[in-house]
């Protein structure tokens, strides 16, 4: 696919999901760990594709755990952050918003401040070389439960960092209820240091998950939100609040949320006037990157370069950044 020449923004991407097979091999070697058997074939991650949403999710989660399991130290975080940002900048990406996980840091053996320092180091290096901006969203994992989420929220709140501007939630959308996580969102919020919020909703779960996230967590930005396509009334409601769906086409197809491009609502959302932005989600695992997501929008959904530029403008307008950075990025688009 030809990567369109427009400037881009990656608005939904998990840091650990950017770790490439080459990076897994490099980090494993450095940490003296064997790469799990069968994880990488012909330079790509492989997992059992049984053609069902549940089976693929299981396989993907296993591959994700195996790949990120080679990470053991701060340097690993620095390297994957730099590697992702550099690759994205090379594809014309000027801004990324990246989910980071207190829980994953803990698995690697790093306290949140140490993990953040390592990530910031990778970011600063990439920024000097490319000019690309990024911000980070501290993300709780829904299926770890409300108490774990509250812990993540408090750690995030108590350790403010200028690059961490939002709070989010990933993981199994069918675990617990949205209301169970309201305390975490309340605890994370800080009008000055942590004003922004998003959550995965309407990916695996249906339209009600989107309404719950909107009404209970007071969101206007949603990870995926693609299942809103099943409910025209919801699309109208979401348009009214100027909702922002973070759309990740390759992810949705890899995990069988939709069977093919024709069934996917990207074009429908955009034409309905929703403020669509694009994301690569876990690019290394879905064999994509933000350049390819823009290419797919162009080639499979017939987006013109002007429409793609509109998507990037949507992203910068809705980015979790300060006004001065927003103005600087918007000036790049002018």
CB of 330 to Zn ion, least distance (A): 26
Residues with catalytic annotation?
A: 203
Compare residues 9 and 74 and give the one whose CB is closer to Zn ion: 9
CB of 126 vs Zn ion, minimal distance in Å: 21
> x-or-dash pattern for Zn ion, window 246-285, by CB under 5 A?
-----------------------------------x----
Q: Among residues 10 and 74, whose Cβ is nearest to Zn ion?
A: 10
Q: Residue-wise over 55-80: b if at least 16 C-beta within 10 A, else e?
A: ebbebbeebbebbbbbbbbbebbbbb
**Minimum CB–partner distance for residue 84 and Zn ion (Å):** 14
Touching Zn ion, residues 176-215 (CB under 5 A): none
Residue 203: CB minimum distance to Zn ion, A? 7
| Positions of E strands within 178-251 | 196-197, 199-201, 221-224, 244-247
The DSSP code sequence of 217-231 is S--SEEEE-GGGGG-
| Nearest-approach distance from CB 237 to Zn ion, in angstroms | 23
**CA distances from residue 260 to 29, 151, 256, 296 in whole angstroms, order as listed:** 38, 39, 8, 12
Number of residues that bind Zn ion (CB under 5 A): 1
In Å, how far are 55, 171, 272, 280 from 259, measured between CA atoms? 14, 21, 22, 18
In the bound complex, what is the minimum distance in angstroms from residue 327's beta carbon to Zn ion?
A: 28
Distance set, CA 276 to CA 12, 225, 241, 311 (Å) = 12, 10, 13, 6
Q: Rank residues 74 and 209 by Cβ distance to Zn ion and give the closer one.
A: 209
Is the backbone of residue 21 left (phi > 0), alpha (psi -120 to 50) or beta?
alpha
Looking at beta carbons only, is 6 or 254 nearer to Zn ion? 254
Distances from the Cα of 331 to the Cα of 124, 274, 324, 326, 328, angstroms: 21, 23, 11, 8, 5
Comparing C-alpha atoms, which of 294, 289, 323 is closest to residue 13? 289
- Cα(47)–Cα(249) distance, rounded to whole angstroms? 19
Contact positions vs Zn ion (CB under 5 A): 281
């Amino acid at each position: 696919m030809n990567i369109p020449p427009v400037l881009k923004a990656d608005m939904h991407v998990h840091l650990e999901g950017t770790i490439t097979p080459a990076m897994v091999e490099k980090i494993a070697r450095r940490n003296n760990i064997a790469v799990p058997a069968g994880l990488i074939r012909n330079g790509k991650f492989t997992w059992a594709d049984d053609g069902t949403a549940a089976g693929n999710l299981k396989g993907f989660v296993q591959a994700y755990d195996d790949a990120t399991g080679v990470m053991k130290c701060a340097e690993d975080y620095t390297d994957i952050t730099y590697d992702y940002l550099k690759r994205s900048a090379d594809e014309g990406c000027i801004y990324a918003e990246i989910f980071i996980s207190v829980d994953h840091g803990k698995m690697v053996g790093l306290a949140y401040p140490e993990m953040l320092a390592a990530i910031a180091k990778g970011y600063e290096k990439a920024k000097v070389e490319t000019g690309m901006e990024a911000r980070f969203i501290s993300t709780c994992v829904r299926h770890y439960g409300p108490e774990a989420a509250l812990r993540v929220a408090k750690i995030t709140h108590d350790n403010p960092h200028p690059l961490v501007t939002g709070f989010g939630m990933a993981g199994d959308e069918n675990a617990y209820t949205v209301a169970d996580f309201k305390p975490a969102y309340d605890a994370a919020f800080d009008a000055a240091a942590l004003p922004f919020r998003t959550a995965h909703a309407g990916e695996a779960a249906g339209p009600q998950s989107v309404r719950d996230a909107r009404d209970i967590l007071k969101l206007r930005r949603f990870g995926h939100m693609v299942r809103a396509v099943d409910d025209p009334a919801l699309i109208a409601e979401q348009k009214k609040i100027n909702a922002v769906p973070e759309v990740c086409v390759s992810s949705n197809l890899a995990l069988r949320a939709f069977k093919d491009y024709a069934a996917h609502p990207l074009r429908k959302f955009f034409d309905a006037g929703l403020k669509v932005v694009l994301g690569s989600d876990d690019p290394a695992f879905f064999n994509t990157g933000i350049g390819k997501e823009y290419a797919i929008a162009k080639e499979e959904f017939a987006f013109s370069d002007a429409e793609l530029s509109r998507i990037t403008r949507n992203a910068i307008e809705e980015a979790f950044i300060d006004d001065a950075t927003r103005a600087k990025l918007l000036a790049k688009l002018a």
